[in-house]
Amino acid sequence: PAIPPAKMPTYDQDFIDFIHEILTYCEQDDTETFLYLFSYIYRLYSKKFFNNIKLIRLLLHTINHSELEQFMCDILKHQLQLFNSHKLYSIVDQTLLFAQNEQEDFWKLLGAHDFVQNDYEQLFTNIIEHLLNQTKSVIGEQRLAKSINYTTYRNTIALANVYDILKTKIPTYGIVCCLLAHELTKNFSEKLCLLWHEQHHDTFWRHLERILQKWIQRENDQTKQKIDYKIGTIKMANENGLKYILQHLEILLESKTIDINENKIDQDDLHDRLTIDDSLLNIPLSKTTIKLLIDCIHKHEQIYIENKNFVDRFENGNSVLPPPLPTTTATTTTTASSTTSIKRRKLDNKF
């Protein structure tokens, strides 16, 4: 068969390459002009240059601390935008080859964008998945292995910056699911889970309950073609799923902090929580979920043997469910009634 013609570069790509060439020469000769042109081009043709790793690398290689702060200030004022959320995880992947200071500066610029702070669930679900699962890297294992920077820092700088952003956020179902789908990491998932366990206890454990219920449902599915429950790019039916779940549950339930609700609780309830036998685990999951999870564990003899002490304590623990979410039905009904009566009075006044 005839060999198909080579794909012709698009006008946009030619233009981007042209701009990159100009900025490269400019960066070598005159840093001040380079920074002015870089900022001007991104303001003028922002959509063409979002997430352009070549230009971002050129910028990171050039700017000093005060210039970086000026760029961050412009981004915060919405006068400049360097990134958007589309496939941002692939850009993060490529920064793993950068030197430490370049990686740190990249995250400072990225973190200044509104969409990173506001629309964080899907964005960081994908980023975490790629950082914790090297096989999904867009760079390629050979290139990673040859990089001195990657060998030295791997994903530690990126994960540390992801943690710094997420530690101020409320836990979401997708991100909690993403954490449980991977092996527990001391400097990232352990820190983040423990933080959310303490600061957003009820919300965090409600997500965990739902995740475990779905995972158990899949494990107990007797059909030949089991359903893969997905959150973003994550399959909950991970072959090491039970192992990772136990790792996270153990670190959470063995932590010595007292679990106090985010919502106000009455003194009797507080007293009951504080006087529960310390030798027993206080588990913020339903009795049904605990029992079904224990049944799953006992089906995997090797996992049970490896985690026997914790599993036995888990099986005999106290179910201390977070309170249900407050309902607004009563308030809505009252408001509706009062609104109706007001309308009637207005009608009465007409006659």
- 144-164 burial, b if ≥16 CB within 10 A, otherwise e? beebebbeebebbbbbbbbbe
**Residue 140: per-residue pLDDT:** 82
Please say whether the beta carbons of 47 and 86 come within 8 A: no
Q: Is 346 among the domain residues?
A: no
Residue 26 maps to a domain: no
- The pLDDT assigned to 259 comes to 44
pTM of the shown model: 0.80
CB 282 within 8 A of CB 336: no
Q: Decide if 249 is inside a domain.
A: yes
**What confidence score (pLDDT) does residue 349 get?**
45
The answer to whether residue 134 sits within a structural domain is no
Round to whole Å and give the CA distance between 186 and 168.
19
* pLDDT score of 351: 41
Binned average pLDDT, 10 residues per bin, the chain of 351 residues: 54 86 90 94 92 95 96 96 94 94 97 94 92 81 87 93 96 93 92 97 95 87 65 59 93 69 49 56 95 94 94 94 67 46 44 41
Instruction: Report in angstroms the alpha-carbon separations of 228 from 7, 32, 225, 292, 347.
Output: 37, 53, 9, 19, 57
Q: Dihedral of CA 219/225/227/233: which sign? A: positive
Number of domains in the chain: 1
291 within some domain: yes
Is 309 among the domain residues?
yes
| Residue 217 located in a structural domain | yes
- What pLDDT shows up at residue 106? 98
Q: Which domain holds residue 214?
A: 203-257+281-323
Residue 261: its pLDDT value, please?
A: 44
Count the Cβ atoms, other than its own, within 10 Å of residue 175.
Answer: 26
Residue 17 lies in a domain: no
